[in-house]
A and B are shown apart, each in its own frame.
Chain A
Amino acid sequence: MAKAAVKTKAAEASVERRPALGGRAVSAPGVKVEILPPAERISLRAPEASVAALSKALGVTLPAKPKTSEAKGGRTALWLGPDEWLVIDEASNDPLADCAKVSALHSAVGISHRNVAISVAGLAAEVTVNSGCPQDLSLEAFPVGAASRTILGKAEIVLLRTAKDTFRVECWRSFSDYVFTLLSEAASDAAN
């Protein structure tokens, strides 16, 4: 249902979508930094009592443990706070519409365009992110699936480890140039 709705919307749009930094990519020894395609996103806030209903509606279990995420069917829920999740949908489904069907207390706000996602992938990915992010990103402390709202240099980011050597860096649209440029510079030093 939701899928169809989005497609109709896209078909109706008479103007083109121009994502920030669309298609930009930089490669350095051991790491590639690239802008990821647009995705659907919501900021979800809810008390504990609503978590089950929302998880069901979203089709993915909202994680309760700090610094974790859950993913299913192209949809990832990142724990950002005791009552806060970032839900990212990369399968063109509409998590906002799914939440709208839930009567349990919650706040779902569409932020698909607020964020830009950058992939940092390769053996030197961890070092690249660590050039601006003070967190411990070892696999023990930040395993695959770990997620955290943190900083990269002078910008706030949400960091998600999608694979052993791959990170998804989410930042606000107007910070994407800064974040991408910083990651690109860091990448060039990471393999050294």
Chain B
Amino acid sequence: MNPAFRIPGAGRLSQAKTASFSFDDKSYAGIEGDTLASALLANGVHLVGRSFKYHRPRGFLSAGAEEPNALVQIVRDDARKTPNVRATVQELYDGLTAHSQNRWPSLAFDVGAVNDLASPMFSAGFYYKTFMWPKSAWKNLYEPKIRAAAGLGVSPDRPDPDHYAARYAHCEVLVLGGGAAGIAAALAAAETGVRVILADEQAEFGGSLRFESGAKIDGENGFAWAQGAIAKLKAMDNVRLLPRTTAFGYYAQNFVSLVERVSDHLKSPGRELARERLWQVRARRVVLATGAIERHMVFADNDRPGIMLASAARTYLNHYGVAVGRNVGVYTANDSAYAAAIDLKKAGVNVAAIVDLRDNPTGPAIDEARGLGIEINFGRAVIRAGGKLRVSSMTVQPKNGGGERTIPVDAILMSAGWTPSVHLFSQSRGKVAFNEETRRFVPGTYAQDCVSIGACNGTDGLDATIDEAYAAGAKAAKEAGGKAGKSAKPKVDASESWSRGMLGAAPGAGPDTTVKAFVDFQNDVTAKDIRQAVHEGMHSIEHVKRFTTNGMATDQGKTSNMHGLAIAAETLGKPIPQVGLTTFRAPYTPVTFGSIVGHARGALFDPTRRTATHPWAAAHGAVFEDVGQWKRAWYFPRAGEDMHAAVNRECVTVRKVAGLFDASTLGKIEVVGPDAAKFMGLLYTNPWEKLEPGRCRYGIMLREDGFIYDDGVVGRLAPDRFHVTTTTGGAPRVMHHMEDYLQTEFPHLNVWLTSITEQWAVIAVQGPKSREIIAPLVEGIDMSDEALPHMSVREGKICGVPTRLFRMSFTGERGFEVNVPADYGEAVWEALWAEGQKHGATAYGTESMHVLRAEKGYIIVGQDTDGTVTPNDAGLDWAGGKKKTDFVGIRGMARSDLVAKGRKQLVGLKTKDPKVVLEEGAQIVEDPKQAIPMKMIGHVTSSYWSENCGRSIALAMVAGGRDRMGQTLYVPMPSGTIEVEVTGMVFVDEKGERLNG
């Protein structure tokens, strides 16, 4: 079946390649190369959607990316249901399934259209006024209803099964826009040998040459010339062509983001194909050849299906071979609509009349139209369109008033003129300038190394465009390092040219209060809305925009911004440049989340870091917790154990026998150089000069403001070499902090820092049996208390592999931390585990580690401290070098508020009822009977059940805490007030005898 509106012999598609598709469950026939829009039009379908606010029936306004109306849902399968696809850019494939949106129960009969009748309720800014009273209704009634009504289409409710690729690229010349200008610029640049990328949003390059039947270049029809030029570019190694690719963001230093639609046009894309590919391109020079977008005429009911831009009708005819009607009317304020009328007339379509708002225009287009016998009406306006689901007539009146005449039509082609697409130029931070003569904004002041050419630069005529483009391409390439190329500038033999037109509302757009003359189709903004916004006090275009939502839909006002601005300016009585233009922001057209996310989902969302012993822990039933990017073994439940039982058992076993713990994630930094001790002294509160090689010290690092930044045990391996450990979470920032000070404050010191976090796997063996477990595997290290006392480090071998063996404890028990090269970590762990099994040792995780250290009052930076805690607050004054005169934070610590009395200090808390475990973060008060809000004097920082103590234990920051020993304080909770006693921080082995036990 040959669809009724497909004109034999017209267009460029091969009639032989058919594709069937469905729209709202009805099957149609199309041709490969069609867009969904052209295929529907070929079948005479104009009604494709309902508008957002008023649910007005809508058809196609355009044939391109600027389309505000024809948004449909494309459904591939249960998981692939893409809403808001512009039918004008969706390429047809065999089997394509599309549905209309924003209608119920059907497109032709939509209950929501009652909004159109009730439209006085929905005037500009209605959401600021209508839903104000009663106040309580907002939350329960208005907001849920508005949210349900807002948004178009239905989001898919399953995970996106497609994948998205990403690529960085560099080039000397990036040409954005593949019309005549872009192709000419790319040719000139490519001939110099530099890398050129040419991108265009359409499937085929050519831009407006798709419809400009009057263009002839190098003796060929314009579009044919474009295809030849593209073939030539494609054959060049230094050129990359990116069709179906939209440049949507222009960022600093010529960094441009583009999205390539890789497989949305394919019937059944293979799994290996990404759906879309994000290109992030850094270009030495950018050539903007983004063209211009035609504007509609603003008159009453100008949104009826069948009313469209003249260039769109021309594109459907000349490229797709589709007539948009059989009896079309034309309403224009510039010459370009004449070309459409002429092309349609020549193709056998009746042109009922051309209505031209201008008084006495002259020119070849007008002469040709007249010669074809088309009726032309100058100085007249279309004041109204008839019809509802499809336009049926246009009512014409002299523009200064007079008798009306209604002409039956089945389509109206309109053109108010052309708006240069300065979106990307504006995104590049360039400033646009208003040209009073041509009444358009064009690129003014450039902010980056780019150049605008052709229609987007306000250059009219193909001749001038090719001249400008070719020169710009050659210049950009030369500036980017290209050699002089052989000049082969395309020669323009024939050209179409038009400029001017009108901005704002035409006579049929009001001023009465019920006329719906649409400015912004997608957000249902009419001329009267703009006027009303001004009358209600919005004088800045930014306010008018937000009050009316003009230009705020997904089409970003590509067709509406200039009209809206002109109406606002007219109402304000100000010239357009004084009212200003709203800012263009990325993205140029909607971009899928998928393409932004790219590979970064699932396992690649963020690196998941695992230690060397991870497989062993997983095999032994460990439950893992996330600590930053790390997976750490949290606890090792045995059969039948819950978390509490496992942790209780682990904690008791460590103190009775021993436990193995993976401490590999702790940050490790090797500090090397003759000035290493001096540097350590400047970065830590502690003294280091006198620490003997082979010994360790607990170090505290402050920020300049005197607050604790990090802590960790540091071993001195040699006079010029320290092995520093940091907290797990602090590892990268401590390294940066140290490197920052080294490079900016202490560059005179001969010392270097190397991260060795991942060089060493660290196995902590803690408990009274720890030495017996380790000793049999160690060679070359005397393990006696005399030779290897608490807080010392030795280098030797374990299981035949090198080790840095630390004697240290974060449990209060005799303890060791075995450092081995990471690839040996798991095997050494297994060997230690086997030894441990002989004694009944346990593996323990981070939860038990936390409990065991809290039993000893050892702090965890970031849990017991919060960035406002000094060493004195934390009871760590002992770690400071009393005689030291300088270190980072020494002056901060002396600030008056840091030495003032009554600061919060870290203390222990015991609940009066030993079974009650406090909540971490709970607030502490002195008198629970005081009125709310109570005066809070502190908060709980750490709280656990301690099986070893047979009771709960807690650490807390309490104002003047160390002077409150033995005091009773209160923790008010929703379920009742908990009584606590202030105690010291050490709950187990206060004398520290077990370190050698």
Contacts and interface: CB of A to CB of B under 8 A. Distances in A.
Interface string B250-285: 000000000000100000000011100100101000
A30 interface: no
B171 to A, nearest CB: 9
User: Chain B binding site: helix, strand, loop or mixed by DSSP?
Assistant: mixed
Nearest to B754: A109
Given A15-B799, A177-B608, A188-B272, A113 B822 contact: yes
Contact of A181 (B603, B609, B670, B821): B603
A134 interface: yes
B800 interface: yes
B596 to A, nearest CB: 14
Nearest to A155: B607
A189 B274 contact: yes
A173 B801 contact: no
Contacts of A155: 607
B593 interface: no
Contacts of B800: 9, 12-15
Interface in B578-615: 599-600, 603-604, 606-612
B801 A15 contact: yes
A107 B673 contact: yes
A45 interface: yes
B65 interface: no
A119 interface: no
A13 B827 CA distance: 10
A189 B273 CA distance: 7
Contacts of B751: 107
By size class, the interface of chain B is 35 or more
B292 interface: no
Interface string B933-967: 00000000000000000000000000000000000
Contact of B756 (A13, A109, A186): A109
Contacts, number: 148
A91 interface: no
Contact of A192 (B272, B609, B629, B831): B272
Contacts of A154: 600, 606-607
Interface in A105-139: 105, 107-115, 127, 130-136, 138
A43 interface: yes
Interface string A150-192: 0001110000000000000000111101110110011011001
B431 interface: no
Contacts of A108: 672
B609 A175 contact: yes
Interface stretch (B160-168, B509-517, B639-647, B856-864): B160-168
Nearest to A128: B167
B919 interface: no
A133 B282 CA distance: 12
Interface string A28-51: 000000000010000101010000
Contact of A111 (B277, B282, B756): B756
B282 A134 contact: yes
Contacts of B772: none
A118 to B, nearest CB: 14
A20 interface: yes
A141 B169 CA distance: 12
Interface string B748-759: 001110111111
Contacts of B608: 177-178
A132 B599 contact: yes
A66 interface: no
B831 A15 contact: yes
10 contacts: A83-B752, A112-B759, A113-B758, A114-B756, A130-B168, A131-B165, A154-B607, A177-B607, A178-B608, A188-B272
The 7 closest A-B pairs by CB, nearest first: A15-B827, A174-B609, A45-B752, A178-B607, A107-B672, A107-B752, A136-B170
Interface of A: 9, 12-20, 38, 43, 45, 47, 83, 105, 107-115, 127, 130-136, 138, 141, 153-155, 172-175, 177-179, 181-182, 185-186, 188-189, 192
Given A13-B824, A114-B759, 10 more contacts: A13-B799, A15-B824, A107-B754, A132-B168, A134-B282, A138-B170, A172-B758, A178-B603, A179-B607, A182-B599
